[in-house]
């Protein structure tokens, strides 16, 4: 934009101080606080206009400005206006600036507009475009993700109607859109939708911009939001980063808000009369409408979402890794004295040196991995057998001695103080396991029962458990809870008194 001219009263003062006071140009510049070059330029213009001092009374400010700054003669060569639609698209490429585009414009049209006028005309053009198009989104930079407010009713045959959620993802530069119906907004559905969005686009963006959804952001914060560990794990797998929108700042994700509005208008509204019996059926219809939306021409810009995606976003986005992300959850259990960790009631071994420490556990579909201070210390094939053990020999201490001085002999010695049946049961529990340490948990549980019940009752309950073959902590606890330790054991035959003689008893002779 052109530099504003000095006020006419300052120009009059320049003429007065020059002709009347006889000051130099530098002294006048210091007095009026303007540049010396500006003083020289105005005196030169006044000399060329034939103006002296004093000025005539009829020379007001408008006439003085016209005398000093006469309008330029109209250009005889019409200037070709820039293609601002092309300028707007090119600005989304990385490293492209208005100055570079202006230089390219002048190379094609040497008599075109100068840079200041070029920028001014572009801003006027951009002001007439929709708000969503005015944001400065770089190619391949951001993918905005959110759930729509509207849901999709699913009518399963013979079942109850339930509502499916609509996941929407929109690229910043091209507005290329992905949408799908999901069963819920839970973590598994949330991450699965991201994976399918990346596969739909065939690449991954540099940044993900989600809302402060609980599945994505564990704790929202203006400066350092706490991300869900599984969500962060997925982003790391695809080489992207997560930049959550600030809480209560919808402008941070305006692209997602508009993308959701467009999805509701052109996808959900157009399918409002359809009756879906399954999630797969709904997604088939959504995918057809999505293809139509991405190939629909813009109202105020040239091209379509698909065309801009192929030109801008796809070349700038990251290629997908060789393997698909496997959904996993994270836990932080404490290592028990038997150097095993509890994951959904199955017990996995870790190095015995970690007894008493907490480890980060990644629970995938096929594997369970344990990490300590960022280093993987154990990996197991996942097992869904409740109460089972997965133990690796490398994790056990020498001679099978548990950390903190726990050993089978110590447990059996403690049990012997309660009674011989308790000692026999503890020994049988550890003998039933591939490794004695795997029976420590049950033995420790029986130890705790002695604090809740008298020792004679615990001894009787252990004796009954041995007779009926119930070698577990839960069996002993159930016997004590129901008071079954006093009931006759199955091996004890109840005393049978001879039948009493009664006149109504017919006897075997009656049937002869």
Token pair of 358 as six digits: 């907490």
Closest Cα partner for 447 from 420, 404, 477? 477
Helix (H/G/I), strand (E/B), else coil: 202: coil
CA dihedral (480, 486, 491, 495) in degrees, to 10, reads -160
Cα(27)–Cα(22) distance, integer angstroms: 10
Q: Are 466 and 428 in contact (CB under 8 A)?
A: yes
Cβ–Cβ under 8 Å, residues 182 and 167: yes
169 and 124 Cβ atoms separated by less than 8 Å: no
Per-residue DSSP letters for 333-347? PBPPTTSEEEETTEE
Distance CA 199, CA 217 (A): 23
What integer pLDDT is reported at residue 188 of this predicted model? Answer: 87
Could you list the mean pLDDT of each consecutive 10-residue stretch along the chain, which spans 512 residues? 62 85 86 88 87 81 83 68 80 76 84 85 75 59 87 89 92 89 90 93 90 63 64 89 69 66 86 90 93 86 85 89 90 89 91 91 90 91 88 76 59 79 83 70 79 85 86 86 80 54 62 56
Its pTM surpasses 0.95: no
Q: In this structure, what token pair is assigned to residue 80? A: 């070709």
In sequence order, what DSSP letters do the residues of 137-192 get, joined into one string?
--TTTEEEEEE-SS-EEE--TTS--EEEEEEEEEETTT--EEEEEES-SSHHHHHH
């Amino acid at each position: 934009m052109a530099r504003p001219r000095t006020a006419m009263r300052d120009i009059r003062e320049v003429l007065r101080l020059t002709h009347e006071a006889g000051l130099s140009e530098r002294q006048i510049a210091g007095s009026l606080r303007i540049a010396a070059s500006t003083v020289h330029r105005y005196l030169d213009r006044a000399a060329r206009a034939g103006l002296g001092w004093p000025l005539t009374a009829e020379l007001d400010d408008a006439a003085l400005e016209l005398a000093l700054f006469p309008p330029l003669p109209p250009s005889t060569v019409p200037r070709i206006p820039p293609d601002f639609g092309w300028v707007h698209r090119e600005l989304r490429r990385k490293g492209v600036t208005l100055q570079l585009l202006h230089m390219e414009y002048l190379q094609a049209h040497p008599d075109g507009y100068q840079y200041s006028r070029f920028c001014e005309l572009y801003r006027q053009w951009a002001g007439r475009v929709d708000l969503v198009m005015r944001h400065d989104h770089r190619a391949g930079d951001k993918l905005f993700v959110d759930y729509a407010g509207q849901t999709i009713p699913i009518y399963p045959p013979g079942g109850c109607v339930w509502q499916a959620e609509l996941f929407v993802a929109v690229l910043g530069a091209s507005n290329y859109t992905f949408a799908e119906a999901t069963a819920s907004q839970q973590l598994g559905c949330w991450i699965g939708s991201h994976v399918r969005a990346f596969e739909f686009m065939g690449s991954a963006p540099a940044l993900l911009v989600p809302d402060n959804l609980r599945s994505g952001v564990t704790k929202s914060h203006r400066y350092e939001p706490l991300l869900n560990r599984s969500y962060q794990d997925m982003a790391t797998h695809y080489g992207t980063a997560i930049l959550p929108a600030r809480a209560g700042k919808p402008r941070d994700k305006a692209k997602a808000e508009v993308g959701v509005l467009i999805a509701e208008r052109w996808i959900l509204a157009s399918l409002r009369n359809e009756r879906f019996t399954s999630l797969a059926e709904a997604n088939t219809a959504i995918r057809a409408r999505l293809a139509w939306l991405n190939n629909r021409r813009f109202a105020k810009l040239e091209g379509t979402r698909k065309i801009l995606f192929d030109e801008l976003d796809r070349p700038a986005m990251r290629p997908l890794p060789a393997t698909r992300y496997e959904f996993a959850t994270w836990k932080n259990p404490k290592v028990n004295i038997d150097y095993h960790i509890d994951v959904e009631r199955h017990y996995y071994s870790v190095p015995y040196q970690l007894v008493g420490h907490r480890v980060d556990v990644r629970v995938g579909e096929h594997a369970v991995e344990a990490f300590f201070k960022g280093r993987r210390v154990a990996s197991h094939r996942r097992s869904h057998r409740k109460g089972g053990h997965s133990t690796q020999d490398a994790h056990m201490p020498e001679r099978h001695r548990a950390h903190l001085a726990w050993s089978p002999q110590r447990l059996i010695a403690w049990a012997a103080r309660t009674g011989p049946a308790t000692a026999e049961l503890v020994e049988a529990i550890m003998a039933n396991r591939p490794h004695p340490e795997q029976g420590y948990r049950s033995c420790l549980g029986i130890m705790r029962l002695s604090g809740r019940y008298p020792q004679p009752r615990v001894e009787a309950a252990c004796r009954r458990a041995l007779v009926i073959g119930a070698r577990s902590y839960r069996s002993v606890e159930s016997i004590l809870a129901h008071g079954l330790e006093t009931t006759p054991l199955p091996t004890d035959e109840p005393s049978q008194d001879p039948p009493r003689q009664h006149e109504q008893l017919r006897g075997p002779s009656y049937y002869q």
